[in-house]
Amino acid sequence: MSPDLERTPRNLLVSERSSFLDQKNRISSQLDQLHFNYKVCVLLPECSSAPSHLDSALNTFSSFYLIRKLPLYELLDTHFLETVRHGGVSGLSYRTRLDEDNCVALMPNGRLSLSLDKDSFELLGVEGKPSRFNHRTKSRFVVCVDLTDSSMAPGGRGYQRLVTGLTSRLPLKTDFLMSLPAGGGASVQALLSRYDWSEHRPEVSSCSLTDLLCPAPLTSDPPAPLTSDPHRLLEWLGAVHAAVSCENSSSSFLSSLVCPEPNKKLSHALRVSVCGLLSHQDVQKLIQEIRVYLSVSPPGSASWASVTLHGFVDSPVSWGGEEHGVLRGGDNFLSLMMFPDQSYLLHLATGAHDTCPP
C-alpha cells in the first residue's frame, strides 16, 4: 500500500459552544456560507418516529433541476441573468471531479466560480488566478466573476469577453444542478426548453434504531457534550449515520471504531437523511423545527438531537466564496448538536487543503 494511503488525511475542525438565545450566535450566518449541500443527517435519540411538524420539514425540501450538457455560455443569457440578479439562484456542475475536470459553481449571491485546468484557462482568455492547491506547478486556475456587477451587464466589456471565451474559444458543456428560489421555476422555462432536463425532489430515508450505544455524557441530565475530544464525537456520529457498528472488540479486523466511554445503550433512536441539492433555507427551517421538538418533548424523552450537513466534495467553493481543494478526503461539513435548553455544540470541518471555516 502506498504510504500516502496509509495516513489519514488531515482536516481543519472549528468547535463552538453557544446558545440559540444568545443574540450574538452565528448559526444563521455560518449555515448561509455553506452554499452547496448534498446531504443532511438527523439523529433523534429515544424517538421511534418523527412528530408531524418535523416530518413535514423533512419531506418538504425544495426541488431542484438537473440540466444535461448545458453550455456554460447559457449562464450569461440575458433573461437568466435577470433571475440571477434577483438572488437565490445556485448551481453546480454535476459528476465533475475537482482535482481533474473543469468545474463550475454559481453561488446564490450571483458569483460565478470556474475551476479550470491550465489549457482551458489559457483558451478562455479572461482574468483569473492560480489555484491555492497547485502545490509545485501551476496546473489549475480559478476564475471568479460577479454576475451582478455593472461590468457584466449585457454589452459590457467584461460580459462580452466572457461570452466570447465560452462560445468560440472554450465551449464548455456540463451536466448542471440548479436550485431556484420559491416560485422561480417560470423564470428559467425558456432556458430549460432548449435542453434535456428533469426536476427532482430530495430523497428522504429513515431508519429506526434499537439498542444504540451512545456516549453517556450526552444522556446525562443535564447533557454534558464531549468537548474535550470532538473528533471522537464526530467519528461516533459518522459511524451511526453510515450504519457502522461501534460495538467492536480490540481484535476486530473489520472496524476499530468504538463508542466513546463512558457509554450506555439507548432503547431506540431515529436516523433520517435527506439527499439532493439542498438549500440552506430548508436546512434552517429543519433546525428550527428540531428546536421546537426538543422544547416541547416531555423531560427525559429527548435530551439532545443532532444535525450534520455535508457539502459537495467536488464543489469549487466551500465556506463562503473560498476555494475548495480536493487532494484526499474533501471534507466540507457542519455538525450541530442541540439541547432542550436551547444550547448547542457546533463543529465546522474542511479538509487540510481549505481555508479555516468561519
Task: List, for residues 199-255, the tens digit of each pLDDT value.
Answer: 999 999 999 999 888 887 776 666 665 556 788 888 889 989 988 877 766 565 566
Strands 263-278 and 305-311: unpaired
pTM value is 0.89
CA distances from 13 to 94, 101, 138, 227, 229 (A): 27, 27, 28, 13, 11
CA dihedral 350, 355, 356, 357 (to 10 degrees): -60
| pLDDT value of position 60 | 93
Is residue 90 over pLDDT 80?
Answer: yes
DSSP assignment, residue 185?
G
Do the beta carbons of residue 81 and residue 162 sit within 8 Å?
no
For residue 75, the model assigns a pLDDT of 94
Q: For residue 185, give every residue at least 6 positions away whose Cβ sits within 8 Å of its Cβ, in sequence order, or none.
A: none
According to the model, what pLDDT value does residue 1 have?
46
Residues 6+ apart with CB under 8 A from 345: 15, 16, 17, 225, 227, 336, 337
User: Which stretch of 173-182, 228-237, 242-251, 288-297 has the lowest confidence by average pLDDT?
Assistant: 242-251
Q: Once rounded to an integer, what is the mean pLDDT over residues 19-39?
A: 89
Ramachandran category for residue 183: left, alpha or beta (phi over 0 → left; psi -120 to 50 → alpha): left
- The pLDDT tens digits of the residues spanning 339-358 come to 998 999 999 888 776 777 77
Residues in CB range of 301: below 8 A, 6 or more apart:
46, 47
What is the C-alpha end-to-end distance of the chain, expressed in Å?
36
